[in-house]
Structure formats: C-alpha cells, structure tokens
Structure 1
Amino acid sequence: MRPKIVKVCGITRSEDIRICQDAGTDALGFIFHPASPRNLSMEQYERLIAEINFESTCKVAVAVTPDMSRVREFIEAGFDKFQFHFPSGFSLDKIAEWSTLVGRANLWLAPRLSKVDEFCLEYLTFAKSILMDAYTIDAYGGTGKQADWERFKRLRVDHPGYQWILAGGLGPDTLNEAVRQAEPDGIDLNSGLESSPGIKDADKIKAVFNLLSEKF
C-alpha cells in the first residue's frame, strides 16, 4: 500500500519545489542545521518560497535540538509540521516544551538511535509522528545509508495509532523493498533523489513517484 505521507527533504531550490509538487509530493522539508550541506538560513528559505503556492503541500521545518526561540521562529514563518532530530538520552523536558509549543499532532520526533539505544516510549506521549533514519555517529540524516527496517517495523507494529515515517537512503532502487519490508506510514526522501547534496534530480523524483503509483 502507498504510504500516506511522501515527503521530499533537503530542498534548496525553487525549481525542485515545483518538480516535487508536480510529481505529487505531500510534504517538503527545509533544513535549518548548519552542519548539513542542505542548510538554509531563514532569509534563504523566505526567498525560496516567495512565489510558490503551498495550498496542497505541507511545509516541514527540519532542525536538530532547536531552542525555544528557534521553534517560535519556525512557527512565525508559517511551517505546518516540525521535524526535530535529537540524540539518544536528550532531555524529555525539552521535547515536552516542543510538543506544547507546536502541538503534539504537528511534531515529528526523529531520535538518533544506535543499535544499542533503546527507543524511549515516552516519546509517544509528545508526538503523533516518529521518524526513523539511519544511525551515524556524526550526522542526523541525509547520509544515504539504510535505516534498520526490521526495527522500524517492529516498533510500528507494537505501537499502532501513530504515524511511523521511514527515512534513510530511499530512492528509485530501494523504495520498493523498503515499503514492502517496513510497511511505513510515511517515507522521507532526500539524498536518494539527488545529483549532489541539495540538488534534486528530476528524473529520480519522477521515477520514485511512478513507482509509487504503479506498485502501490
């Protein structure tokens, strides 16, 4: 079955927004993290979307452990959803503050978990959506590595009623098997649709959405 949410992340060009919208993407992610090659300033973001109609496309602010002033800035900028990455063991009090500020239904929590890190069930009290990406010690996503599909599916099955979003190297060559094995509620596409970091490849985008329409 086709995932309910198909998100393309790491957008840096207006032409890529239009290509994704024409293909049928549900959500677009804009990254605000200086360590990312896809990082945007708020000024760059505002210029990027100035002449784009987002009536049918969800805008997602993507950040790593943002402070409350940064979260308020995202709210004021008109974002619909808030995808916040954080390391294992990160303060639950801070996560609770995010949830209170943006709303549990709008928060996408993205914990960075190694194989030995436990998934904290308290996350589920703060957000209706959980995003699982591939673990790397020095990055929070966009690496092109494959996530742990088996662990992802186990969590989704054990905790229904939430929106489980799969990320990690998804593209034309991996998407079919990822959806078949993990059965995600949503998918987050980034590096697997690029010709270089931040530059989306129109052919790869079209190939993914053709696959989604044909297979699912």
Structure 2
Amino acid sequence: MTLKIKVCGITNEKEMKEIEKLDVDRIGFINIERSKRNVSLEEIEILEKKLLNKRLSTLVLEPNNAYEALLKANRTKIFNLQLHSLTCFDIRYMIWLNQYHNGERLNITKVIGLRDKINRKDEKEIKNHCLYSDNILFDYVKDGKTGGTNTHIPIDTAIEASRLVKKYDNRTEVTLAGGLNLEYLEEIYDKLHYFDRIDLNSGVEDKPGRKNIKEIKKIIKLVNEE
C-alpha cells in the first residue's frame, strides 16, 4: 500500500529527530493558540533549522487572513501550509500575493471539518477548495473547530468525501485525520486505499504534545504491509 504519513503536533527536538528517521513524508508544527500542541514561531524556527530534510516541515495555522499566513510562512521559511481557516478566495489571493514575496511555491493543505454525514454545504466547500488547494485534509469538527479532537470521522463518510475530491480534481490529494491510532487503522485497513495520506496526532500521544514513537512505528509497519 502506498500511503503517505504525516505526524503532526511536534513540540520538541528529541521526538522530531526520532520521527524524521522514520518513513514519514510530513512533520507538522502547530502555531494555533487554542491548540494544546501550540508552538511559538520562535520555537518552530529553532526546530526547523535542526531538521535535516526541510521538505518535511508543515506549518499548521488558523490565520485571520491570507497576509498573516504568508508572513508566518516567510518568517519560518516553511512553505507547506496546513490551514484551519480561510476561504478559497483568501487562499487564491495568498497564492497570488506569494509571487511577489519569495521564489518558493506554496503547498496548501486545507482542513475541512466533517461530522457524521456530508451535507450540501460540505460538498460545496470541498468543490471550492479543490480549485486552489494541493491537499484536502478531512478532520472531525467539534464545537465548530477542527484539530486535536481525538474523534474519528465515520469511515464511510470520509470515503464519500474523498470520492468528491477526486471527482472535482483528481490531482488533489486527500488526507484522513481525526484521532487515528493503531487499533482503529487496523480496523479500517482495507479502506485506507481511498486516501493519499493519514495524519497522526492525538491518537499517537501519551499526553498532548508527547508522541508515542513505538505506536507510530507500528502504524508505519502496518501501512507498508503488502
């Protein structure tokens, strides 16, 4: 199975260096004040400098506007952005604005929150964000917020959402998030091929911001099985 793995919510150098050695394609640093895994931009800059493979870095934001997101990307030199806010028009503007700020192309992951069923509003949001995002990440939405909820999206709902993304733009990648842990991934193993990537965060922690490396290794072994 060719399934990419992102580990999000990295808060310290020791775990970052251990995870960097594993078969992962993204490492996420969260700069969102409400998050239990929030890391300041100053700390992210320090951690990112110690990362050997800079292409792994993802900056996770919930910006008020496109300019704020771009400023943080320019400051940290991290151009893989995961956005928990902004409309598709904001993202289009940010991509346009980026042309005049640096030579690096932005890689945009837009987070879309789902509950138990997909409604018309969800489908419209999926369709609109496929236009300007490289990747759509589906997470469970709780109290109007996504990220760190430790709650699974019903797998059939997630599959339906993934099919919608591929229907509107087959080039857009789909990431499954939402409290993913080893036990649950074993349960839905036969359905993981509907997704391009899984996002590991709260489901592989001993406590917020402290990853269980052994659990992550077991998940990597699972998804790499033929």
Shorter-chain-normalised TM-score: which range?
0.7 to 0.9
Task: Flag structure 1 segments of 5+ consecutive residues without an equivalent.
Answer: none
Of the structure 1 ranges 32-41 and 116-125, higher mean CA displacement relative to structure 2 is found in: 116-125
Query: Aligned to 1:134, what secondary structure does the other structure show?
Result: strand
Q: Does 1:201 align with 2:212?
A: yes
Query: Is contact 2:44–2:76 with CA below 8 Å preserved after alignment?
Result: no
Q: Residues 105 and 128 of structure 1 are in contact (CA less than 8 Å); yes or no, is this contact kept in structure 2?
A: no
Within 5 Å, give how 1:110-125 maps onto structure 2. 110-114=111-115, 115=117, 116=119, 117-119=121-123, 120=125, 121-125=127-131
Q: Which residue in the other structure is 1:58 paired with? A: 56
Matches within 5 A, 1:52-131: 52-55=51-54, 57-67=55-65, 68-86=67-85, 91-101=87-97, 106-114=107-115, 115=117, 116=119, 117-119=121-123, 120=125, 121-131=127-137
Aligned-partner Cα distance in 2 for 1:176–1:34 = 33
Shift of 1:108: 0.5
Q: What's 1:141 paired with?
A: 147
TM-score w.r.t. structure 1 length? 0.86
Q: Aligned AA for 1:165? A: T
Partner SS state of residue 161, structure 1:
coil
User: Structure 2 CA distance, aligned partners of 1:46 and 1:180?
Assistant: 39
Q: Separation in 2 of the partners of 1:139 and 1:98?
A: 22
Distance 2:196 2:223 in 1: 13
Contact map agreement 2:28 2:57 (CA 8 A) in 1: yes
Structure 2 counterparts to residues 2-81 of structure 1, below 5 A: 2-3=2-3, 5-55=4-54, 57-67=55-65, 68-81=67-80
Further displaced range: 194-203 or 132-141 = 132-141
1:112 maps to a residue whose letter is G
- The aligned counterpart of 2:102 is none
Contact 1:61–1:79 (CA<8 Å) still a contact in 2? yes
Gaps of 5+ in 2: 100-104
* Whole-Å separation in 1 of the counterparts to 2:181 and 2:57: 21
RMSD over aligned Cα atoms: 2.2
For the 8 Å contact 1:99–1:127, the answer to whether it is kept is no
Q: 1:149-182: per-residue Cα shift (whole Å, max 9, x none)?
A: 2222223234233201100111211123334225
For residues 166-207 of structure 1, the C-alpha deviation after alignment (integer angstroms, 9 at most, x for no partner) is 001112111233342252111110011110000111211221
Structure 1 residue 84: Cα displacement: 0.2
